[in-house]
Structure 1
């Protein structure tokens, strides 16, 4: 009993200190969390306040898909340096800039006439087309992507995206990728050089980048489908269980 008393007294002494330390830690963590939230808000776009998590995901996916597409355009011009000269622009950089602008601002390309989306894609990969095939091919896919997302590249609460159209766009890109590697002219020469497999090595970077676009589209389609499915299920459950909906 003589040895227990000091232990109890120490415990009584340290308990307030421990509580104070925990309180200080909680306060510091709360302050740090507050600073992190403030930093995120300061670095974000005010428009994000009008986006759900799915809207934000769709916006970021579109941004990344267009970046992948522009990277592929640059690679196609490097593999097919004769193409940009058929565009009528002074160099490849100018051609790339004009095609990006046409995609993002929903403009047409003079060499494609009034064709957009699938019509432009079919024409760009046909033997009859005589213009800048690389630029037309990328424009057609970019135009199709924007159309499949309702004609927009940024999305907010009031916007709706049809998941079936997004999924269809992914399938179209898979077909276009195959056509890119197979279509030949009357002399048996590929219309556009992209992936390459030789004894010296392989270059499958085109297939990899197109695969990234397809994967993003499929993920977004699944997220959209689940989002709308849950809205319907939640409404059905409220009717089934006869629950009143909250008003505050």
Structure 2
């Protein structure tokens, strides 16, 4: 019995990795045979994969899929809040999104429109009543840079990388707090700073909530798998979202 328990414990990270790889894809589409396309890793070279452990591939998937979720959420937020896009550019939302996520080598996520704020400070800016700039940009850049920071500012991982599972776990909790603020923070006139989910007599749109839920699930699952693999404990924090503070990472 002890031998079985030991084998099961050693295999848990790989089980969690399998669950994440099969459950977290956000951009799958149905083909003519009603089968889902599986997202593929861009670099499949043998040399590249030899220097990756299973937990590294899991991190690759988690960051790739979370980034795709953020791109989708940014597009959806601009569609619901077109006035915010106009504060940044006259270009289509897709072009703005590509610049934010693919232009990191040029802007390094230092945007003058956000006073060069990143992570939780950028998220706070989203709900600052005195802020006149693009609140969608502030919110998404805040979330994305927070994720990057917890993953040592990387999106491609190898066995030499060392990521703190507590930081990743804290980011999952911080996403929850940010989403609560998005759905509840209002200005002095009682209006939401940004429109997202919509529930009324004529329409029920919870697509934002579902996409954020995927992000939280992926991030937390990776943190747990990483903690199991590295034999490091995670301090699980339970907070009231209405009064919760962002956790350090």
- Is this a same-fold pair by TM over 0.5? yes
Distance verdict in 2 for CA 1:109–1:223, change over 3 Å: same
Q: Which has the higher contact order (CA 8 A, sep 6+)?
A: 2
Corresponding residue of 1:224 = 226
Q: Secondary structure at the match of 2:99?
A: helix
Q: Secondary structure at the match of 1:191?
A: coil
Gaps of 5+ in 2: 1-39, 233-249
Corresponding residue of 1:57 = 58
* Residues 8-87 of structure 1 aligned to structure 2 (within 5 Å): 44-45=44-45, 46-87=47-88
Task: Work out the CA distance in 2 between the residues paired with 1:184 and 1:62.
Answer: 31
Corresponding residue of 1:36 = none
Task: Work out the CA distance in 1 between the residues paired with 2:104 and 2:139.
Answer: 12
Task: Work out the CA distance in 1 between the residues paired with 2:53 and 2:87.
Answer: 43
The alpha carbon displacement at 1:109 in A equals 1.5
Task: Work out the CA distance in 1 between the residues paired with 2:42 and 2:195.
Answer: 45
Cα contact 1:102–1:139 (8 A) shared by 2: no
Gaps of 5+ in 1: 1-39, 231-248
Equivalent in 158, 163, 166 of residue 164 of structure 1: 166
Cα contact 1:85–1:91 (8 A) shared by 2: no
Kindly report the root-mean-square deviation, in angstroms, between the aligned alpha carbons of the 2 structures. Answer: 2.2
The alpha carbon displacement at 1:103 in A equals 5.5
* Residues 170-209 of structure 1 aligned to structure 2 (within 5 Å): 170-209=172-211
Task: Work out the CA distance in 2 between the residues paired with 1:145 and 1:108.
Answer: 16
The alpha carbon displacement at 1:200 in A equals 1.4
The alpha carbon displacement at 1:119 in A equals 1.2
**What TM-score, normalized to structure 1?**
0.72
Corresponding residue of 1:130 = 132
The alpha carbon displacement at 1:89 in A equals 4.7
The alpha carbon displacement at 1:85 in A equals 0.4
Q: How many residues align?
A: 191
The alpha carbon displacement at 1:92 in A equals 1.7
The alpha carbon displacement at 1:228 in A equals 0.8
Distance verdict in 2 for CA 1:66–1:43, change over 3 Å: closer
Task: Work out the CA distance in 2 between the residues paired with 1:131 and 1:41.
Answer: 36
Corresponding residue of 2:116 = 114
Task: Work out the CA distance in 1 between the residues paired with 2:157 and 2:42.
Answer: 21
The alpha carbon displacement at 1:95 in A equals 1.6
- Give the number of the structure whose residues are more often helix, by fraction: 1
State whether structure 2 residue 94 is matched by structure 1 residue 93.
yes
Larger radius of gyration: 1
Distance verdict in 2 for CA 1:55–1:203, change over 3 Å: same
Distance verdict in 2 for CA 1:76–1:104, change over 3 Å: farther
